[in-house]
Amino acid sequence: MHLIKQFAIVMFMLFFGTILSDFFHMPIPGNVMGMALLCISLMTGIIKLKDVEEIANLFLNHLAIFFICPSVGIMLYFDMIKLKFIAIIVPTILSIFIGLGITGKIVEFIANRKVVDTDG
């Protein structure tokens, strides 16, 4: 029964994110907004980690299932993808390296940042 409650909490946050995104005409997808709201709720203590931990672990343990539909879609349209393969793969690889580089620089910056002593 507790898994149903945890699932309901996650789904409510996704639903609420979708409502906010649609109501305010935001360029952020509702599911991303919902996960951001869940993250904020966890960080502020509105929702406790124990309230969603088991369902989150269940989702993570079965994450591969969520890739079945996109994989089948890619296989169905492989002929079209083959025609534009270079136009797809080059930006994909570039964006991966750019994302890794930026992430690395941000982590390096945060790791090297000195903590300011407010006591003087």
Quick one: pLDDT at residue 81? 87
Q: What is the pLDDT of residues 32-68, one digit of tens each?
A: 999 999 999 999 999 999 999 999 999 999 988 888 8
Q: What is the pLDDT of residues 69-115, one digit of tens each?
A: 888 888 888 888 889 999 999 999 999 999 999 999 999 988 888 65
Helices (H), 1-120: 2-23, 30-44, 53-61, 68-76, 78-83, 85-112
pTM (two decimals): 0.61
Quick one: pLDDT at residue 71? 85
Distance CA 12, CA 8 (A): 6
